[in-house]
Amino acid sequence: MRFVSVLAAVAIVCGALLLRFSLVNGSMENWMPVQMPLPTEAASNIDSGFHLESAGRFQLQIETTATASERALHRETTEIPVSLTMTISGPGDFRLDRQVTRMEPSQWARATDTYTAVGADDVFVLPRSGDYEIEIHVRRPLPLFAARGGVIRLERLGPSTYGLVYVVARFVAYACFVFAASVVLFIGTRSRKSVVP
């Protein structure tokens, strides 16, 4: 009986860890940790802090609104010139500096277009979990985004199977909780039977 009780306790601990893993690492804040307004005037800066639960590979993006005709025009554009400097600092004296000179349309929605930085350093690694600071400096005006505005984003890159991993982890966590509850009920039933005269 003692072994069964220990097994139930282990199942609860494993379930809690798996549930935390799926909820925290699969959260929007971990996959798109930065969303802040884009300054469009020359020599303007914006900065923000963010937290990562896990290391990963990221890309800089700008999301902007557009009319239907503008979206059609943008989709024909392979890339657009920009003039941005991105600086990210983080745990353990980590520092990353990037010059962004080109972006290309990568995603389209009903009312928005998303542009992604392109170039040799378009994908970068944030090496560990922890607190980071990002600063964007606009060196020259950004006419494409000036009229409609834009939102700066960092988007995590990962295999499509990552989503399945989190779903499976959540399912196993709930299975552990069900198993632990069943064991508790079983022990309680056995205890009541043992005291019946």
What's the whole-model pTM score?
A: 0.72
Return the number of other C-beta atoms located less than 10 Å from residue 25's C-beta. 18
**What CA–CA distances, in Å, run from 21 to 8, 11, 26, 118?**
20, 15, 8, 32
Q: What is the pLDDT of residue 196?
A: 45
Which stretches of the chain drop beneath a pLDDT of 70?
Answer: 1, 43, 67-78, 120, 159-163, 190-197
Paired residues of 105 in beta bridges: 115
Selection from 191, 183, 189, 192 nearest residue 3 by Cα: 183
